Amino acid sequence: MSDRLEIHIVSDSTGDTAARVGRAAQSQFVDTEVEMIRHARVQTREQLARALESATNRRAAVFYTLVDPSLREAMVEIAHAGRLVVHDVLGPALNAITTASGREASLVPGRSAPLDAQYFRRIAAIEFAVKHDDGRGADDLHQADIVLIGVSRTSKTPTSMHLGYLGYMAANVPIVRGVDPPPVLFTVEPWKLVGLTIDAEQLAGIRRRRVRALAGAGARYADLAEIYEELEFTRALHKRLGCPVIDVTGLAIEETAARVAELVDDRRRAALEGARGSAV
């Protein structure tokens, strides 16, 4: 039998919710090869049985989102008979809300989450990140919730986009040795500013791959001595701005964004409390 693990996603809709949970869990098992297999629009016991048959006698886990109680009962029954490892992603959440609210769920398969204010804020935040990427839109940096500052290839753009997905208006400003940063950067509220840095040798490797992709143009861009100078110049700027610095070496984009958001939220609260204290 193969060492590969199969994660079967079974849903009465698209399976996106269970797939996200499955991928999140999978990410904690870095040495395990995983294949994701999706069984969408499962509406009957027969369809459910066929989906589970493909996981039987396999090295597999089943994540499912089924709103129909009879299908959930059938899942438990069939899984028990086939000795399958299964996880109900949606059922416990439905039960929790039913218990807390005292109301029964409508149990309509495939119903999408409502488009609330948070959804529209995310869309606006992602658009903001696009318009304020790589130093663009510097004139209105004051509108940003977060401003990322770092040299090229420190994950500023993808981190800004992920922060946008989280609902933060994020801008990013690239730092180039010998080039003055935009003056407005020194007038933005300090708690909004976060510096990004990275190990010089890792950055050199990232940039070498970039140079090869561009057919060798700009070789100094990936020169290690130049990179040390560039990082030192940026470190001095971070110090002048008085901003915290996150080392992104080896960090996933999601982890970098989470650390940035936590830093900014903490610094914003401290600034507000300080302002209230001085007003008393």
**Could you read off the pLDDT of 102-158 as tens digits, one per residue?**
888 877 776 665 556 777 888 899 999 999 999 999 989 999 999 999 999 999 999
Average pLDDT over residues 22-35: 87
Reading the block at residue 189, the tokens are 């509220």
* pTM, 2 dp: 0.65
Residue 194 contacts by C-beta under 8 Å, 6 or more apart in sequence?
A: 146, 147, 148, 149, 243, 244, 245, 246, 260, 263, 264
CB 174 within 8 A of CB 150: yes
| Torsion angles phi and psi, residue 11, rounded to 5 | -150, 150
Indicate if the pLDDT at residue 2 is higher than 60. Answer: no
Say which DSSP state 80 is in.
Answer: H
Q: CA quadruple 169, 178, 205, 245: dihedral positive or negative?
A: negative
- Edge to edge, the sheet with strand 5-11 lists 34-39, 5-11, 60-65, 85-88
Across the chain, what does the average pLDDT equal? 90
Q: In order of start, what are the domains of the chain with their CATH numbers?
A: 5-101 (3.40.50.2300), 117-279 (3.40.50)
The 10s digit of each residue's pLDDT in 48-69 is 999 999 999 999 999 999 999 9
Indicate if the pLDDT at residue 274 is higher than 50. Answer: yes
What's the confidence (pLDDT) of residue 1? 45
